[in-house]
Structure 1
Amino acid sequence: MTEPVAYSTVWHVVSIAIVFLLGLFFCVLIGRKIGIGFRFSVFLYLYHSFWCLVYFWYAGMHGSDAFAYYNQGLLGIDRIWFGSHAIVIVVSFLTSVFSLSYLGVFLFFNFLGAVGYLFFYSSLRCASIGSKKWVNYLIFSVLLLPSVSFWSSALGKDAISFLAVNLALWSALDFSRRMSLMYLAILLMLVVRPHMAGLLVMSLSVALFFDSRAGTLRKVFLGAVFTLGAVFLVPFALDYAGVKGGANIDSVMDFIDKRQSITKGESSVDISSMSFPVKLLSYAFRPMIFEATSVFGLAASFDNLILMFLFIYGICLGFWRKLNPEYGNIIFIVFYLFGAWAVLALTTTNLGIALRQKWMFSPFLIYLCLSYINQRQLGRLK
């Protein structure tokens, strides 16, 4: 497929500048609303945008789904509103209404990912209140991991799913005041990855049911609403994902086998034959440094080394111990984290794909580990 031209008219150049500056303006505005200072909001946006340009260059050198999204968007509106089709619809709107160029559309999706990046940082700050300096340095090193910004800065589903995941995480820290953001997170995830939206709704239903701080009437009402939503959403998500014959065990296992065969690839490590625990660990923390075969593989392996350190440290502190309520709704966080981790590890066996898809649960894992580290530092682990 022929690579789209980054820009070809004066308006393309002007619109690129407009999209970039508007993105900066709204990121600063949103950052202020969620407690991030002006300078750091600017830094995070510029850093995220840097990786957007790196991805833009990488796509031009090695090819990318972004080409197909943009070219399909130029052809007109798609009739299906979910998954890849939703991205085509957004691209079609941006190119037909605002005449944005390929790079301009890239920067729009970069803005969406950058907003998710801001919410991710704000959540990690909440996990480190009162912590020692080294914990704050650890958070900063996590923010600078290339894969955090690389995948979420490009034209595609990952920018929107990353935004949705971090909105959900930030909302889970205080459901009483941020439930509207959870609704937005579910809607955004439903548009690009319906099966993960179903998991968000299921996690929310479980969290509300076991929330000891909620009144009985409110618990029953909200639990019924979200359970009913899950009843309708999960079958739709399964059907969209390709599970035929309903949600029985045979159809789900057939789907897993089909997905494993589709996502196998010669260029990446295949985990389909591994045991379930090894699949989980491989999905989240491989490739390792000694498995890297390129500069980008080396960067990914370095990211995985930091994530593994956080995970092992969290295990050593004891995931079974209770976190204080100030760290948010842990039931929701744990249920979604391990649910998403298991689903993705079972259905995606190619670690090349896993490198970007694991960021649909990694923010939850990082937040949970940092919460245990911070609570231990403050001497409050029960």
Structure 2
Amino acid sequence: MADIFFGVILYLINLILISEFVRQRTNSKGLNFSFLLVHYHLLIGFYYGWFAKGTDTSFYWNLGDKFRHFNFESWWDAYGTHNYFVFFINYPFSRTLGLDFWTGTFLYASVSAWAFILLFLAGQDLLKTNKVSLQGFNIWPYILLLPSLHFWSSGIGKDSLVFLFMAMFFYGIRDLRKYVFLVFLSAVLLYHVRPHMAFIVLLSSSVMLIIDSKLHLSYKLVFFAIAMVGFVLIYDEVLKFLKIDELNAENIESVFNTSSGNLSYGKSFVDMSGYPYPLKVFTFLYRPLFFDAHNFTSFLNSIENLIYLLLTIIIFTKVNPIKGYQKAPNAIKIMFLTFLLSSIAFAGAMSNFGIIVRMKNMTFVYFLIFLIYIYQVHLLERRQYIIRKITEAQKRKVTMGRKAG
């Protein structure tokens, strides 16, 4: 009974909050699409709960399992980073209220749906349009409906939290003056779940914001101070996570080799030991493809990866990505840098398609936004060029008519 009551109240509160939040920032079509995103995410969240029940999702919700049991006498005993922070979040719902696994699944899917709301609104603002079409297909905002984006970001655990906190960060980084608290809060939360991702996000943001000539010096100094403190704290956590004494090429290569060896199991294993690094990055971004598919899930991933690959090829043949990057606003540049750094970092350590898809999912959506942005700018410039040529031709025609008269 408590589960039903909690679920109904959560659903109603979430719909009201989304309605009020979105209504102030977009039109009625945007509001309807936001509700579509939420219910689509909830549906896939329950599918993920069924798919993953008994694995890490149950481990996180039950605060342990028969192999790894944790005795927390109070809520604050669960506080920590990595797995412990997930326990800390789940404790009041799982242990105190005694809610079951499916209510926890609904809770995580309801909260993580906000990531897509924020991505949609950020995209609407950065793209300055309601839709972007390519080869006759509307790729924005419908690219946000690709199943794997929702599948890996809707379940109980770290993946959905990381996806949400990163969406919060990038939503706020568009206007640091207005959303400085949201940026700070999301960075702190991201640090608690995956310190190495917080390190990458802060590094990307620091590079762009500090060299931004439009940002006032006081904001640069504040962000620089926060970033430096964050780097000091996160650096030690990253070293502990990687189990090394310092960051250098030799230690990082050792970590990559160890991680690759640890992940070399199952039908989804791919041996990339002999691959040149660019091919490892390509594998990380665009595989599995159809020849790699070994079950229905990997077949669906293959379809989406083919879409990603075709989208990249088509847009990069029309737009110079370097010039497109130079024209992009800082928020887009930070998104792209975060995607690029994480892809380069993880590509060398992954050798299992299941892990690859999960890790890629955290940042690949920002590459998609980058692609759509530079393509939209290309379309706008081409349209302006055509209008300018038509206007010049009309002026010449009028001039020649006057001379003839």
TM-score tier (shorter)? 0.7 to 0.9
Instruction: Say if 1:98 and 1:293 are closer, same or farther in 2 by CA, change over 3 A.
Output: same
The answer as to 2:40 corresponding to 1:38 is: no
Instruction: Say if 1:376 and 1:28 are closer, same or farther in 2 by CA, change over 3 A.
Output: same
Alignment RMSD, CA only? 2.6
Number of matched pairs: 370
Shift of 1:25: 2.8
Given that 1:323 and 1:375 are in contact with CA atoms closer than 8 Å, whether structure 2 keeps it comes out as no
The answer as to 2:192 corresponding to 1:185 is: no
Query: Which residue of structure 2 aligns with residue 68 of structure 1?
Result: 59
Farther off after superposition, 201-210 or 156-165:
201-210
Instruction: Give secondary structure in 2 for the equivalent of 1:247.
Output: coil
Instruction: Pick the aligned partner of 2:378 from 362, 376, 379.
Output: 376
CA distance in 1, matches of 2:107, 2:254: 38
Query: Which residue of structure 1 aligns with residue 270 of structure 2?
Result: 270
Instruction: Say if 1:332 and 1:38 are closer, same or farther in 2 by CA, change over 3 A.
Output: closer
CA distance in 2, matches of 1:368, 1:152: 20
Instruction: Give secondary structure in 2 for the equivalent of 1:320.
Output: helix
Determine which structure has more spread, i.e. the larger CA radius of gyration. Answer: 2
CA distance in 1, matches of 2:276, 2:120: 34
Given that 1:113 and 1:153 are in contact with CA atoms closer than 8 Å, whether structure 2 keeps it comes out as yes
Instruction: Say if 1:85 and 1:209 are closer, same or farther in 2 by CA, change over 3 A.
Output: same
CA distance in 2, matches of 1:214, 1:133: 29
Farther off after superposition, 99-108 or 18-27:
18-27
Instruction: Say if 1:17 and 1:204 are closer, same or farther in 2 by CA, change over 3 A.
Output: same
Given that 1:313 and 1:373 are in contact with CA atoms closer than 8 Å, whether structure 2 keeps it comes out as no
Shift of 1:109: 1.0
Q: Note the 1:308-347 alignment, pairs <5 A.
A: 308-316=309-317, 317-323=319-325, 327-347=329-349
CA distance in 2, matches of 1:347, 1:112: 30
Query: Which residue of structure 1 aligns with residue 90 of structure 2?
Result: 91
The answer as to 2:119 corresponding to 1:120 is: yes
Shift of 1:224: 3.6
CA distance in 2, matches of 1:11, 1:215: 51
Farther off after superposition, 255-264 or 278-287:
255-264
Shift of 1:97: 3.4
Shift of 1:30: 3.2
CA distance in 2, matches of 1:314, 1:176: 33
Shift of 1:65: 0.8
Instruction: Say if 1:119 and 1:224 are closer, same or farther in 2 by CA, change over 3 A.
Output: closer
Shift of 1:288: 0.9
In structure 2, list runs of 5 or more residues that go unmatched. 65-69, 386-405
Given that 2:174 and 2:330 are in contact with CA atoms closer than 8 Å, whether structure 1 keeps it comes out as yes
CA distance in 2, matches of 1:117, 1:130: 17
Shift of 1:287: 0.7
Q: Note the 1:266-305 alignment, pairs <5 A.
A: 266-273=266-273, 274-305=275-306
Given that 2:79 and 2:87 are in contact with CA atoms closer than 8 Å, whether structure 1 keeps it comes out as no
Query: Which residue of structure 2 aligns with residue 6 of structure 1?
Result: none
Instruction: Say if 1:257 and 1:326 are closer, same or farther in 2 by CA, change over 3 A.
Output: closer
Shift of 1:358: 0.8
What are the Cα deviations for residues 28-59 of structure 1, in whole angstroms up to 9, with x where unaligned?
33333543643222211111100011112212
Instruction: Give secondary structure in 2 for the equivalent of 1:27.
Output: helix
Letter in 2 for 1:228: M
CA distance in 1, matches of 2:224, 2:211: 13
Letter in 1 for 2:365: P
The TM-score with structure 1 as length reference comes to 0.88
Instruction: Say if 1:31 and 1:356 are closer, same or farther in 2 by CA, change over 3 A.
Output: farther
Shift of 1:154: 0.5
In structure 1, list runs of 5 or more residues that go unmatched. 1-9
CA distance in 2, matches of 1:233, 1:125: 34
CA distance in 2, matches of 1:351, 1:336: 21
CA distance in 1, matches of 2:6, 2:337: 42
Q: Note the 1:120-139 alignment, pairs <5 A.
A: 120-130=119-129, 134=133, 137-139=138-140
Instruction: Say if 1:33 and 1:300 are closer, same or farther in 2 by CA, change over 3 A.
Output: farther
CA distance in 1, matches of 2:223, 2:192: 23
Given that 1:284 and 1:358 are in contact with CA atoms closer than 8 Å, whether structure 2 keeps it comes out as yes
Instruction: Say if 1:333 and 1:15 are closer, same or farther in 2 by CA, change over 3 A.
Output: closer
Letter in 1 for 2:277: F
Q: % of aligned pairs identical?
A: 21
Given that 2:132 and 2:376 are in contact with CA atoms closer than 8 Å, whether structure 1 keeps it comes out as no
Farther off after superposition, 361-370 or 330-339:
330-339
Query: Which residue of structure 1 aligns with residue 11 of structure 2?
Result: 20
Instruction: Say if 1:346 and 1:166 are closer, same or farther in 2 by CA, change over 3 A.
Output: same
Shift of 1:271: 4.7
Letter in 2 for 1:112: V
Instruction: Say if 1:187 and 1:216 are closer, same or farther in 2 by CA, change over 3 A.
Output: closer
Shift of 1:100: 1.9
Instruction: Say if 1:222 and 1:344 are closer, same or farther in 2 by CA, change over 3 A.
Output: same
Shift of 1:257: 2.0
CA distance in 2, matches of 1:150, 1:191: 22
Instruction: Give secondary structure in 2 for the equivalent of 1:134.
Output: strand
Larger RCO: Structure 1 or Structure 2 (Cα < 8 Å, ≥ 6 residues apart)?
1
Query: Which residue of structure 1 aligns with residue 44 of structure 2?
Result: 51
Letter in 2 for 1:348: M
The TM-score with structure 2 as length reference comes to 0.83
